[in-house]
Amino acid sequence: MAFDIQADLVIPLVLAGVFTVVGVILFAICLWLVVKIAPFSIRKEIEEDQNTSLGIIIGSMILGIAIILAAAIHG
């Protein structure tokens, strides 16, 4: 039972890196879509108007998108 560096170490690390990049890109696209679809400025509502409830909703959406992407990438 020999240890093959390429099969046992390099390929899984490369695949993990590829899936990480794909996940981050998809996550950024989803967040961009949420910002573009919203009929108001999310940044203004959260930062300037101190809209805590919107911050909680956006945080929940971010968490949901992350869970969905992680499940889709994991298989």
pLDDT digits (tens, 9 = 90+) for 20-63: 899 899 999 999 999 999 999 999 999 999 999 999 999 999 99
Domain of residue 67: give its range: 39-75
* 23 close to 73: Cβ distance less than 8 angstroms: yes
Report how far residue 69's alpha carbon sits from residue 55's, in angstroms, rounded to the nearest whole number: 21
**Residue 67 within a domain:** yes
Question: For the residues 2-9, what does the mean pLDDT come to?
Answer: 80
Torsion of CA 21, 23, 42, 50, to 10 degrees: -90
Number of domains in the chain: 1
Going by C-alpha positions, the residue among 6, 15, 8, 31 that lies closest to residue 74 is 15
Global pTM reads 0.74
Domain annotation covers residue 65 = yes
In the chain, the DSSP E strands lie at none
32: in domain: no
Angle between helices 11-37 and 52-74 (to 10 degrees): 150
